[in-house]
Amino acid sequence: MQSFLTKRAISSGVSLLLLIVAVFFLSRLTGDPTDLYLPVDASAEARENFRELHGLNDPLIVQFGHYVADLVRLDFGESIRRARPALEVVIEAFVWTFQLAVITMAIVSAAAVSLGALAAFHVGGAFDRIATFFSLIGASAPDFWIAIVAIVVFAVGFGWVPTSGTGTVWHWILPIGVLFIRPFGLILQVVRGSMISALGSAYVKTARAKGVTPKKTIFVHALRNAMLPVITVIGDQAAALLNGAVIVETIFGFPGVGKLMIDSILQRDFSVVLAAIMVTALAIFLMNILIDLAYAALDPRIRY
Amino acid sequence: MADRDMQGPLLQVQNLTVTFQTARGPVHAVRNVSWHIDRGEVLAILGESGSGKSVSASAVMDLIDCPPGIIETGEIFYQGRDLLKMSRGLRRTINGKKIAMIFQDPLAHLNPVYTVGWQIEEAMTIHGMAQSKAQAETLRLLRKVGLPDAEVAAAKYPHEFSGGQRQRLMIAMALALKPDVLIADEPTTALDVTVQAQILQLLQELQAETGMALLIITHDLGVVAEVADRVVVMNKGEIVEQGTAAAVYANPQHPYTKRLMAAAPGQGALHEGEQSSPILELKDLRKSYGAFEALKGVSYVLHEGETLAIVGESGSGKSTTARLMLRLEKATSGQAIYKGRDLFTLSDQELFRMRRDIQMVFQDPTQSLNPRMTVYQLISEAWAIHSDILPKTRWKSRVAELLDQVGLHSEHMHRYPHQFSGGQRQRIAIARALALEPRVIVCDEAVSALDVQVQGQVIALLDRLKAEYGLSYIFIAHDLPVVRDFADRVVVMQGGRIVEQGPVRQIFEHPRERYTRDLLAASLDPDPEIQARRRAARLGKEVA
């Protein structure tokens, strides 16, 4: 167990390092931030001062050296745009994204797992057909389209919820609702398939021969076995949300890390981009460990 | 129909007909099946695969899924009440409490993610027993079925036990509430012969103690001979014969039963092979996986035209030896001399040439034949790989010839494996092995998965081909009666070592080693009288 965690930490550390290298140099390819931040008619001197101030005059490799040296001290640099520490800006946004991801995934998992399990119990029954139909639509619908339609219908048309921004509980409803649809469809399909094979298994036959009730057979005997492939998909979907639901956050003006990243890239605010990538990468690394631990908790045959 | 009085049989199945809706139309699983069982009695339902022997028991336990199953006619009376007329809820109160069931392959039938203690407890709590009492009972049951370290065992998961222990756990779970009837569906089929003997003995002891009725579903005449009072013989969904086990064995009436009894292995004449020159010699073969020594120095000689049987229980290393010899795995040390050359030092090219000479036939033809290739493709593939054997123009006629030789219709060469029965598929596998004109064929449990009549046919085929092609066989098997009929010499293995080797007569009639004697004693004879005598001898009593 200990050695497993150590190994995972080392391999993740290496990936993180490669990520830093790739992101640092690739982001420099997007152009010189000076052009963006100073007025078009700024003097050459002003430009030179700006470059000097932000270390943009040094050779790339020296800039990279400085950057890594600062990273070791957990200093991600300053946001050029906001004139605040980049890490602070990112964490502020990440907290929003994290809340959105956790709430969405909690609702999605509960709904998809219970409905998928019930659908599998009577394969081909009315409930199964309805659930399969809607989950397939959900899994294949593009979320930017759903987001726009949702705003038009529920915010503009009925006026039930605000169109964008944050502040009240009502602001959360549309982003969560839109983010819910695709993972829900995907996870429900996986749960259903996995449950069908679990319910056809020999140990379920044993449970029936013991006189176990159908409810207990589904939710105690079959479901825990069926959850293993489901956990993988849930983790995958959660990772996508943690990365920042870029499109949905942008459409709903939600101040999460996805929107922050897009804005910072457009603004060539490199420190923020890098900090955002590091924070989300770390979050995804932690979540993968959580998934591995969940595997071991669910299945005694898996031990690290 | 009016309820029976309590004087009737404990459990009675009457005129049961079950069909299954399939894509190809309805299939009768059982037709007009009737049997009954009483307290203290052991009834065996004997049949080959597809005979419908398990269907009536599944109907008793409400395990038939409807659809696709349909119970068309029949009644199942338990203590005079028709189970088929009861509600699902009411039947659940009988399942596990009054009528319990254990299955073949206990690993698959135990839930892998819960401790065995939890699973045994559940059998009791589900029928209303308090948790604390169920916990105490679980420990008592575990000790009772021969798992003395009960507290430790209860906290473990199914995969942490051996096959025999898992079946003991299933038995503990089934007997938790002292049922009136225990149904055992092929309870010992996947187990080693010595373990099988222990499990059957445990079942008999527990039955004698509780006076329950025991219904055993099996394909194995030996199991019937060992435990059953009465036997019901099924074929193609119908009962062809029933009676006391002794009478049915000694004096079968129905032609099917007669054929079945005649096909039981272990009754033929012993081979008396004369010694010829060695073709393959293993010298001090060793194999370790990390710290675990799977083979601890194995040496034997295969002679020209000989059938050498390697017998042993699971984990004895009998298949590992073959895999090393064929260089499917790397030996840790030792030599395998074939035609004067050490197979382990051959270059890749020499190895390629050698592979042609030593072919293998596996246990499960369903898995060893690619389901997406036709029989023609499966057999001719060998010539595509070893291109110097046969020009392409002659492939078709040679495939036809080979199919003919293994007893299949040559016009079936464009069919796929799933269109054949298990026995036919094994014939295809043999034809494929023959395509390369080998000198040696290694048969790894090649007939173990087949029904007894089919088994006999495949063995006869192998015997005939041996003479025609001058083949030598290494015949890896756990089933001693088959080995007795087929082998010239026998190597007995245990725990990675050879315990004893010699001519088949010596091994079967005058075994020197204790382990060999134990194996032979545990192996079941189809004759109930012989089994009764052995049982008595085990108990140290004289037969009356």
Q: How far is CA A43 from CA A35, A38, A48, A49, A51, in A?
A: 12, 9, 9, 10, 13
Same domain, A8 and A114: no
Q: How many domains does chain A have?
A: 2
Same domain, A173 and A52: no
User: Which stretches of chain A score pLDDT less than 70?
Assistant: 1, 244
Same domain, A186 and A111: yes
- Token pair 């309820």 is found at B3
In a domain, A152, yes or no: yes
State the CB neighbour count (10 A cutoff) for residue B404. Answer: 12
Question: Do A231 and A239 form a contact (C-beta atoms < 8 A)?
Answer: no
- Positive or negative, the Cα torsion across B245, B247, B253, B257? positive
Question: Do B386 and B436 form a contact (C-beta atoms < 8 A)?
Answer: yes
User: Which stretches of chain B score pLDDT less than 50?
Assistant: 1-5, 541-544
Contact A203 B126 (CB under 8 A): no
Same domain, A215 and A254: yes
Q: How far apart are CA B412 and CA B416, in angstroms?
A: 9
Question: Do A165 and A156 form a contact (C-beta atoms < 8 A)?
Answer: no
Q: Rounded to a whole number, what is the distance in Å from the CA of B85 to chain A's nearest CA? A: 17
- In this complex, which of B103, B115, B173 lies closest to A202 when CB atoms are compared? B103
- In this complex, which of A201, A205, A211 lies closest to B126 when CB atoms are compared? A211
Contact B95 A202 (CB under 8 A): no
| Radius of gyration of chain A, Cα coordinates, nearest whole angstrom | 24
Last residue of a domain, one of A31, A48, A72: A72
Q: Which of B63, B111, B161 to mutate to test the interface with A (most CBs of A within 10 A)?
A: B111
Q: How far apart are CA A227 and CA A294, in angstroms?
A: 10
ipTM over 0.85: no
**pLDDT value, residue B540:** 66
In chain A, residues with a C-beta closer than 8 Å to the C-beta of B154 are none
In a domain, A292, yes or no: yes
Strands B11-22 and B69-78: antiparallel
Contact B92 A212 (CB under 8 A): yes
In a domain, A9, yes or no: yes
Contact B112 A216 (CB under 8 A): no
Same domain, A287 and A143: yes
A195 touches chain B (CB under 8 A): no
In chain B, residues with a C-beta closer than 8 Å to the C-beta of A212 are 92, 96, 122, 126
Number of H helices, E strands in chain B: 22, 20
In chain A, residues with a C-beta closer than 8 Å to the C-beta of B114 are 224
Q: How far apart are CA A106 and CA A172, in angstroms?
A: 14
Q: Which residues contact B95 (CB under 8 A, 6 or more apart)?
A: A208, A209, A210, A211, B61, B62
A212-235: per-residue pLDDT in tens? 999 999 999 999 999 989 999 999
Q: Rounded to a whole number, what is the distance in Å from the CA of B354 to chain A's nearest CA? A: 40
In chain B, residues with a C-beta closer than 8 Å to the C-beta of A210 are 95-96, 100, 122-123, 126, 173
Q: How far apart are CA B372 and CA B357, in angstroms?
A: 26
- In this complex, which of A202, A212, A224 lies closest to B108 when CB atoms are compared? A202
In a domain, B450, yes or no: yes
In a domain, A47, yes or no: yes
Of residues B28, B36, B32, the one with CA closest to residue B73: B32
Q: How many domains does chain B have?
A: 1
The residue range of the domain holding B485 is 278-525
State the CB neighbour count (10 A cutoff) for residue A205. Answer: 19
- Token pair 């010499």 is found at B489
Contact B110 A216 (CB under 8 A): no
Contact B92 A298 (CB under 8 A): no
AA letter at B395: W
Contact B94 A208 (CB under 8 A): no
Q: How far apart are CA A48 and CA A41, in angstroms?
A: 13
Q: How far apart are CA B337 and CA B281, in angstroms?
A: 5
Same domain, A61 and A106: no
- Give the three-class secondary structure for B75: strand
Q: Rounded to a whole number, what is the distance in Å from the CA of A209 to chain B's nearest CA? A: 6
The residue range of the domain holding A32 is 2-72
Of residues B421, B179, B470, B437, the one with CA closest to residue B305: B470
Of residues B314, B352, B337, B338, the one with CA closest to residue B444: B314
Q: Which residues contact A293 (CB under 8 A, 6 or more apart)?
A: none
Q: Rounded to a whole number, what is the distance in Å from the CA of B84 to chain A's nearest CA? A: 15
Question: Do B222 and B44 form a contact (C-beta atoms < 8 A)?
Answer: no
In a domain, A304, yes or no: no
**pLDDT value, residue A244:** 67
Q: Which residue of A has its CA nearest to B94?
A: A211
Read off the tokens for A195.
């449950």
Last residue of a domain, one of A72, A103, A126: A72
A103-148: per-residue pLDDT in tens? 999 999 999 999 998 898 888 888 899 988 988 888 888 888 888 8
Q: Rounded to a whole number, what is the distance in Å from the CA of A103 to chain B's nearest CA? A: 28
- In this complex, which of B61, B113, B127 lies closest to A209 when CB atoms are compared? B61
Q: Which residues contact A220 (CB under 8 A, 6 or more apart)?
A: A212
In a domain, B406, yes or no: yes
Q: Which residue of B has its CA nearest to A203?
A: B109
Distance of CA B158 to the CA centre of its chain: 21
Angle at A6 between CA A5 and CA A11, to 5 degrees: 100
Q: Which residue of B has its CA nearest to A212?
A: B126
Same domain, A56 and A94: no
Q: Which of A199, A201, A210 to mutate to test the interface with B (most CBs of B within 10 A)?
A: A210
- Give the three-class secondary structure for B190: coil
Residues forming beta bridges with residue B358, ordered by sequence position? B440
Read off the tokens for B451.
């029904």
- The number of residues making up chain B comes to 544
Percent of chain A with pLDDT over 90: 25
B446: domain CATH number is 3.40.50.300
Of residues B423, B435, B428, the one with CA closest to residue B459: B423
**pLDDT value, residue B542:** 42
A212 touches chain B (CB under 8 A): yes
Same domain, A133 and A234: yes
- Give the three-class secondary structure for B428: helix
Same domain, A139 and A276: yes
Strands B42-46 and B213-218: parallel
State the CB neighbour count (10 A cutoff) for residue B444. Answer: 20
Same domain, A111 and A61: no
Q: Which of A122, A194, A203, A208 to mutate to test the interface with B (most CBs of B within 10 A)?
A: A203
In chain A, residues with a C-beta closer than 8 Å to the C-beta of B97 are 211
In chain B, residues with a C-beta closer than 8 Å to the C-beta of A209 are 61, 63, 95-96, 100-101
Read off the tokens for B86.
């009861």
Angle at B190 between CA B189 and CA B192, to 5 degrees: 100
DSSP H or E segment with residue B153:
helix B150-154
Same domain, A141 and A271: yes
A59 touches chain B (CB under 8 A): no
Q: How far apart are CA B205 and CA B203, in angstroms?
A: 5
- Token pair 């409905």 is found at A115
Q: Which of B98, B102, B109, B157 to mutate to test the interface with A (most CBs of A within 10 A)?
A: B109
In a domain, A77, yes or no: no
Q: Rounded to a whole number, what is the distance in Å from the CA of B178 to chain A's nearest CA? A: 13
In a domain, A116, yes or no: yes
Q: Which residue of A has its CA nearest to B113?
A: A299
Q: Rounded to a whole number, what is the distance in Å from the CA of A206 to chain B's nearest CA? A: 6
Same domain, A98 and A64: no
Q: How far apart are CA A255 and CA A236, in angstroms?
A: 23
- Give the three-class secondary structure for B325: helix
DSSP H or E segment with residue B282:
strand B278-289
In a domain, A303, yes or no: no
Last residue of a domain, one of A23, A40, A72: A72
In a domain, B518, yes or no: yes
Strands B358-361 and B238-244: unpaired
AA letter at A298: L
Read off the tokens for A192.
């259903």
SS (H, E, C) chain A: CHHHHHHHHHHHHHHHHHHHHHHHHHHHCCCCHHHHHCCCCCCHHHHHHHHHHCCCCCCHHHHHHHHHHHHHCCCCCECCCCCCEHHHHHHHHHHHHHHHHHHHHHHHHHHHHHHHHHHHHCCCCHHHHHHHHHHHHHHHCCHHHHHHHHHHHHHHHCCCCCCCCCCCHHHHHHHHHHHHHHHHHHHHHHHHHHHHHHHCCHHHHHHHHHCCCHHHHHHHHHHHHHHHHHHHHHHHHHHHHHCCCHHHHHHCCCCCHHHHHHHHHHCCCHHHHHHHHHHHHHHHHHHHHHHHHHHHHHCCCCCC
